[in-house]
Amino acid sequence: MNIMIRTDASSYIGSGHVMRCLVLAKGLKKKRHNVSFASRPQHGDMIDFIESKGFNVYQLEQPKQWLIPKSDADYSAWLQVSWLEDAQSLLECVDSIDLVIVDHYGINEEWEEYVQKQLNCKLFSIDDLSRTHHADLILDQTLMRTEKNYRIRNPNAKILAGCKFALLAPIFAVYRGMACNKIHNERSTRILLSMGGVDQPNATHKVLQTLKQSPLPHPQVTVLLNFKAPHYQQVKNFSLQNSDWVTHIDFIDDMARLMTKHTIAIGAPGSTSWERACIGIPSIIIPLAENQKDISQSLVQAQAAIKVVLEDIADKLPAAISELNVHWTKFHNASKSLCDGLGLKRVISQVEQLVNNADNTLKLRQAKTMDIEQVYEWQSHPKTRQFSLNSEVPSWTEHKKWMSKQLVNQCDFFYIIELLINKQAVGVIRLENIRVNEYLISIFISPAYHGRGIAKKALSSLDRLHPTFKINATVLPENIASQKLFAGADYQRSSANTFIRPPII
């Protein structure tokens, strides 16, 4: 599949759109798709960085006069040219594309419709603004967003809403497993300060000054700010002058590993919010732009972060840090409940279904409170208990207590197998954490749907979601059907009643 990603970075736009598109591009490239970028050269662009990651970048026409946005919500100025000029500049670069991916607040539905018709291709729009689109697939990874937030011109379009679709590098899911049952020692607070790639209002320096002037002992602080930021040198100088407690980093490739070394994060509520949530780092969020208001409100509502506005940094930041330290475990668990780090795999699966008409018969969705009664009905059925490791049927009270606890367990995975044609729930597949990135699997299908190959397809879906996990299965020797199921799904037999699926990648 030939894919073109249209996105920009600049001193006004920041780097977030490009960074999340690179995550998607790497995932698609790994699946052997041909991916290129189209971007406009300008101050603060990331064209060299994209090319350094192995992707070709088509450089779009520059404007005759550069526009200065009137506000941080003046998205039309971000594009620097009219939508038609931008679209025509893109079409001059390519003549045959299967899919165009757009991640740009300055691009509108007219652009989408025009490009789609000219290239006769599918179009996938990544957005956060709840706008009208002319696209086949729309992604909004904002917490608490739903399909109802979007208006679409294509009646067959599919909307991926919520941070379960957050485009995070796969390594975040790995480190998420390592963060299970993490305990915080208030006396060893380590703060990661990252206000984005631009930080126009210089919030980074304001935070550092506040921490320096606080009567409390200085925590160890890592500052992440790259050399393209307008206030880079001031922050760099401050860090050098206070090197006993501040460490400055220009750029890091392995953000997941860096996050795990810290106990608290202070940052803007952009795409990095979902990275912090996946690892479970309690956060203080400082909104810097209009489009970050909804994310801020959702994170606070979910009790996963504390918001401090720019003007109140000096007065309210120290108290916010103290509150995170005192209630660290509560914020940690609330954060981890928001994002499991598997959004990239879910999105790629949808992209491939869109273009290649791949198998689209079922999906694995996270179990909810509304599923408790249905799961009990399945578990109580004689055909389910026949080969269960524990043949005794639990009471309703026991089941309800057990499953309610499982639904809030951030170290395990509890999925409902659902048919896409009618959204019918037909079974359960669970992963119980036994060691770091190692799980014990449990799967059963509604007796009404036995013999339809659903379990095998569910295991395939699980492989796509969790290729880095080691998965163990325990199956009674007399359970011939399950023995054949795991053997046919490439699980390796390790004894008469155990199978192992090593990490696939």
What tens digit of pLDDT does each residue of 301-336 get?
A: 999 999 999 999 999 999 999 999 999 999 999 999
Cα diameter, the chain: 76
What pLDDT shows up at residue 95?
81
Last residue of a domain, one of 118, 148, 165: 165
Query: Could you tell me the strand order of the sheet in which 56-59 lies?
Result: 56-59, 34-39, 2-7, 99-103, 122-126, 137-140, 158-161
Mean pLDDT of the region 247-275: 92
The catalytic residue positions are 17
pTM summary value: 0.81
Mean pLDDT of the region 392-398: 92
Binding-site residues, please?
275
* 280 alpha carbon, distance to own chain's centre: 13
Any domain includes 55 = yes
Segment 354-384, tens digit of pLDDT: 877 555 689 999 999 999 999 999 999 998 8
What pLDDT shows up at residue 187?
64
Q: CATH number of the domain that 79 lies in?
A: 3.40.50.11190
Quick one: 161 and 182 in the same domain? no
Binding-site residues for substrate, please?
275
| Distance from C-alpha of 392 to C-alpha of 405, rounded to nearest angstrom | 20
Residue 96: domain span: 2-165
Quick one: 24 and 110 in the same domain? yes
Tokens of residue 388, six digits: 């269960």
Mean pLDDT of the region 387-392: 80
Any domain includes 319 = yes
Any domain includes 347 = no
Any domain includes 352 = no
Residue 431 reports pLDDT greater than 60: yes
Quick one: 322 and 371 in the same domain? no
Quick one: 188 and 47 in the same domain? no
Which 3 state secondary structure label does DSSP give 338? coil
Quick one: 53 and 179 in the same domain? no
Last residue of a domain, one of 165, 192, 216: 165
Quick one: 271 and 242 in the same domain? yes
Place 389 in a pLDDT band, splitting at 50, 70 and 90: confident
- Under a CB-based contact definition with an 8 Å cutoff, are residues 51 and 84 in contact? no
**What element of type H or E holds 132?**
strand 132-133
Number of domains in the chain: 3
